[in-house]
Amino acid sequence: MGLLDGKVAIITGAGGGLGREYALLFAREGAKIVVNDFGGSADGRGEGSPAAQMVVKEIRDHGGEAVANGGDVADPATGSALLQAAIDSFGRVDILVNNAGILRDKSFIKMEEEDWDAIVRVHLKGTYAVTRPIFAWMKENGGGGVIVNTSSASGLLGNFGQSNYGAAKAGIWGLSNVLAIEGAKFGIRVWTIAPTATTRLTEKLLPPDLAEKWQPHRIAPAVLYMVSDASKPLSGKTVAISGTKFHELKVVSAPGFRPGDELPTVQDFIDNVAQIFLPDQAPITFD
């Protein structure tokens, strides 16, 4: 018995890196997989490749069931096509993992509009375009499901040279929070993950010791937990994941200052700094 026996999963960006590890692990646990990957270069400028078909072959060679899709996630037609592929091939969809992404890092002043638009298009619009038809199907068919959206520490905490990426990933986090609320009464659970892993997007940025520790296969079990019944009834959670640490991230509130009926003054802010602001803490780490 596998944790995902009888389940059907759609995974974007599954031709390599994290997405490939999710697909292979889910298939070993009994899921049938729709493998999406456009197969372009890390910055999104290259031509497509048969990356998705290669992962499908791996799954089938080990006795699993899978079909490939090479669509561009930011094209709304791809979201509909992914849903249709799951229905036509396997009769349903239970799991969606939005994983596809590209990088175009530059400091903000050097970033051209093209670099901004490309990142927002693939990450944020891509998450919208794929999720919308699948979320609707999960709602209308009454069986619920699980959606995992990929954010980043760059969006939740910030990172130099990634204003485009950080903005898109923060947007995905906000979208996930809304979907968790809207999906709750329909049995649709929504997770946000902020993974740190060694992939083609990050391998040149990580020191060798961390690159070794943060291999994608060490991330996949956490995502398997999220999409399986083992995590019921959890939803609306944001989890930072590396190869060495899993931990929830939350927005928390300071005690606050209440000015009463009087118009607050600047002096009120000065006098109540300790109540208005949270104390500075050490930065969140992923090691």
Q: Give pLDDT tens digits for 202-239.
A: 556 666 666 566 677 889 999 999 999 999 999 999 99
**pTM score:** 0.90
E strand intervals along the chain: 8-11, 32-36, 66-69, 95-98, 145-150, 188-195, 237-241, 246-248
The answer to whether 3 and 230 have CB atoms below 8 angstroms apart is yes
Distance CA 85, CA 92 (A): 9
Half-sphere exposure of 32 (CA within 13 A, CB side): 15
Q: Give pLDDT tens digits for 140-190.
A: 998 999 999 999 888 788 888 889 999 999 999 999 999 999 999 999 999
State residue 196's pLDDT score. 83
Residue from 179, 176, 224 nearest 9 by CA: 224
State residue 45's pLDDT score. 60
**Domains of the chain, earliest start first:** 8-248 (3.40.50.720)
Other Cβ atoms within 10 Å of 88 Cβ, number: 10
Give the active site residues.
Answer: 165
Q: Give pLDDT tens digits for 96-113.
A: 999 999 988 899 999 999
Hey, is 131 helix, strand or coil?
A: helix
Tokens for 211, please give them.
């690159």
How many residues would you count in the chain?
287
Distance CA 284, CA 152 (A): 13
Find where tokens 């998450």 sit: 127
